[in-house]
Amino acid sequence: MRLNTYLLQLQPAILCVLLASLSATAAANPWVDAAPQVLSEYLRINTINPPGNEIDGARFIARIFDAHDIDYEIAESAPGRGNIWARLEGGDKPALVLLNHIDVVPADARFWSTEPLSGAIRDGYVWGRGALDMKGLGIVQLQAFLALHASGKRLNRDVIFMATADEEAGGYFGAGWLAKQRPELFEGVGYLLNEGGGGGLYGDEVVFTVEVTQKVPLWIRLTARGNPGHGSAPQIATAVTRLLRAGNRIAETQFEARAIPAVAQMFEGLAPYQDDKLGAQYGNIAGALGDTEFMSYLQLTNPRHHALLRNTCSITRLSGSDKINVVPAEATLELDCRLLPDQEVEAFEAELLTITADTDIDLERLMAFTPAVSPSETPLFQLIAELAAKRHAGSRVVPGVSTGFTDSHFFRDLGITSYGFSPVVVNGSEARGVHGNNERIPVDALKEGVAFQIELLKRFTTRR
């Protein structure tokens, strides 16, 4: 599609943004200034997963690529499950992928102060489901990618922008599908930047975490069977009562606490930003694991950090009869377990069966990923740390470990050094919008994140 034809089809708001970005005199940095409005438009596209319908988001990005004469491909892994990527070709150094996902999780409008898909810009924020996870970072990457293209600079490596489907449900229709069905896309790729880390405020100080590994998700279904019957005549044991006993045993189990090297390094890096009560323990987290008072306090005040110190299981689903007065013949319980990267899945499943103490309960593995750790001793990690210190005086960058999973594991399995990194700095209350209510991103932080990402890309990928 030619540029003039495309511009006539755009909504007026984004048309103004793109015209500004195409004009050298429109602003000091048009890629930075355009970001809030582009994100606003992107947030209005309904890509809630399920069902996803990411193809609409992919087409939105495609129209922007058309406007900037950038070649791209779109592929649907299933009807409506759209993925899009574009490549800027360069030299022979290992290529860099900018990875982001198009889908977002559901939102309950009753608990929001604005419509979750409004994309409203007010009170210094861009509001909407996905503003932080992860359409906001997607637009940061997109604007930097466009700026790199527009600069005309010779590149020392290929740079690939890739927006995918289905991350919120495991990535099997998105990044995982591409890794399996289009492996040629990742030939020669050495680095990948994705979600999973970012800038946070500790008082007045900025700390960036760069995610290098994550706990391994293990999703499990337990199924119990028993004699069905009428609810008015209680039995000694049923599928439901046996399952409840087994689930209670699991819920009350505290798995062994231990600090793997990547977690210990993360805690040590965060130690200077803790109060006196926690600083010493963070600095020597392996030695603090036996301090029950500290561990209880940590779980109360920072459950995410506590979860990095042991395997965990959360009971998330229970199902039995579909009628209140019928005792079912079968009942199921589903667990979201997250394992430390060095834990063998089969051994953990055997431990769960021992805990349930019921040989008539079956365990079914629904999903499990493989563990992998990316090294932090790389030129890209060092450059992130250098630019963070430059752009945020006194800031610190530490390797991070995520309790949640991202699509990075697909690419670590391919030997690609993959980092979770967002150049956007948010405070604690803003960060709680991820999968929560009133998700929003500060306009100023978004703009600074784009400027940071542009500098990072230019420094890492252009010839000198």
* Predicted TM-score of the model (pTM): 0.90
Cα separation, 378 vs 262, whole angstroms: 15
Over residues 392-449, the pLDDT tens digits come to 999 999 999 999 999 999 999 999 999 999 999 999 999 999 999 999 999 999 999 9
Domain ranges of the chain: 3-196+406-461, 216-368
CA angle 175, 426, 33 (to 5 degrees): 80
Over residues 32-75, the pLDDT tens digits come to 999 999 999 999 999 999 999 999 999 999 999 999 999 999 99
- 3-196+406-461 matches 216-368 in fold: no
Contacts of 314 (CB under 8 A, 6+ apart): 335, 336, 337
Written in H, E and C, the secondary structure of 119-176 is CCEECCEEECCCCCCCHHHHHHHHHHHHHHHHHCCCECEEEEEEEECCHHHCCCCCHH
> Does 216-368 carry CATH code 1.20.1250.20?
no
Q: Cα(first)–Cα(last) distance of the chain, in Å?
A: 34
Contacts of 17 (CB under 8 A, 6+ apart): 34, 37, 38
Q: What is the CATH number of domain 3-196+406-461?
A: 3.40.630.10
Q: Residue 147: is it exposed, middle or buried by C-beta count within 10 angstroms (0-12/13-18/19+)?
A: buried
CB 82 within 8 A of CB 201: no
By mean pLDDT, which of 223-232, 273-282, 357-366, 398-407 is the weakest?
Answer: 273-282
Over residues 78-126, the pLDDT tens digits come to 999 999 999 999 999 999 999 999 999 999 999 999 999 999 999 999 9
